[in-house]
Amino acid sequence: MSYQKTKTKQCRLVGVPVQDGAGRLGCEMGPSAYRTAGIAKALSDLGHSVTDLGNVAPLPQRPMSHGNAALKFLPEVAGWTAALSQVAFEASAGQDAMPIFLGGDHSLAAGTLTGLAQRAAEMRRPLFVLWLDAHPDFHTLETTESGNLHGVPMAYATGLAGFDGYFPPPPARLDPHNVCMMGIRSVDPAERRALETSGITVHDMRKIDEHGIVALLRPFLERVVEADGLLHVSLDVDFLDPGIAPGVGTTVPGGATFREAHLIMEMLHDTGMVSSVDLVELNPFLDERGRTATLMVELLASLMGRRVLDYPTRSF
């Protein structure tokens, strides 16, 4: 696999203070925590241009009801999705653009994925997605039992049925064959059945334990390079082991280690293909003195060109 030469990126920070899709309060503070943790300086120190576009606000939506009585904040999440799809399309315009979406819960990906898919279609390049998460977020409005809509964005973006009339019509859909999920370790039965026929590549933590990061990730990255695709990385805090990243409301034991996570980021940087990033599910209310926010910023810096050996020794 040949790699592109590293380029200076036009980083565009987009705050998304959405918590309507999560099961508990706190994610709306995520964008402020990333800014406090020095995300802009971390990027500019690496030579990238950084523009903070501020925070997105949801578009107003009509009241709506659904046969699944468990659903929570359906109009609100639909409003966020409509706004974010438009913002993601606009923020990804221009040469070397790198929108970085600061969540906020993972429901934001319903908007970012579809807006970025629209941009890719306009550029006539395929969009690939690396989904780093403990959960596949592959429920539909009918199948979710918790009713928390951070569990539906991948199903919506890839065109599963049941969203018409509730979520906005997507400007473009994501090809599920271009999605690779890593770190999965919590899957509901309905999601498991849907994933079996979806075409999505799923590497759960058992596969990572058995084969290692490199053997699983490299074939996917080779596909991206060969197709000259755009690569979106959606990084959920709960991809990481809660022992190193406690600031999340959906902790699942057995997540990625510090070194595994940095290895993924370094491999992504080596390709030169990453064109956009989600940082999601940070809940500062549950964090320990900014520990998780700081780690997420460090991982982003690794993706953008900083190596682990460049890091100062930390005491936490």
As assigned by CATH, the class of the 10-306 domain is: alpha beta
Chain centroid to CA 181: how far? 11
The structure tokens 């000259």 sit at: 228
Written as tens digits, the pLDDT of the chain (316 aa) is: 444 445 899 999 999 999 999 989 999 999 999 999 999 999 999 999 999 999 999 999 999 999 999 999 999 999 999 999 999 999 999 989 999 999 999 999 999 999 999 999 999 999 999 999 999 999 999 999 999 999 999 999 999 999 999 999 999 999 999 999 999 999 999 999 999 999 999 999 999 999 999 999 999 999 999 999 999 999 999 999 999 999 999 889 999 999 999 999 999 999 999 999 999 999 999 999 999 999 999 999 999 999 755 555 444 3
Distance (Å, whole) CA 255 – CA 185? 8
CA angle (262, 232, 234) in 5-degree steps: 60
**Binding site membership for Mn(2+): which residues?**
106, 133, 135, 137, 236, 238
- Per-domain residue ranges of the chain: 10-306
3-state DSSP assignment of residue 270: helix
Contact 86, 115 (CB under 8 A): yes
Please tell me the predicted confidence (pLDDT) of residue 308: 57
Residues annotated as catalytic (active site), given as ranges: 106, 133, 135, 137, 150, 236, 238, 281
- The pLDDT score that the predictor gives to residue 309 is 59
pLDDT at 310: 54
Number of other residues whose CB lies within 10 A of the CB of residue 63: 6
CA 48 – CA 11 distance, rounded (Å): 7
The C-alpha atoms of residue 33 and residue 286 are separated, in whole angstroms, by 12
Q: What is the pLDDT of residue 6?
A: 58
Q: Where are the beta strands (DSSP E) in 160-313?
A: 179-184, 201-204, 230-236, 274-280
pLDDT at residue 16 in the model: 98
Contact, 110 vs 137, CB < 8 A?
no
The confidence score (pLDDT) of residue 23 equals 87
The three-point CA angle 33-273-112 to 5° equals 50
Whose CA is closest to 83, among 17, 30, 33?
17
CA dist., res. 59 & res. 223, Å (int): 36
Residue with tokens 């046969």: 67
Query: Structure pTM?
Result: 0.95
Which residue stretches of the chain are H helix?
30-36, 39-44, 74-91, 109-123, 153-157, 189-196, 205-211, 213-227, 258-271, 291-303
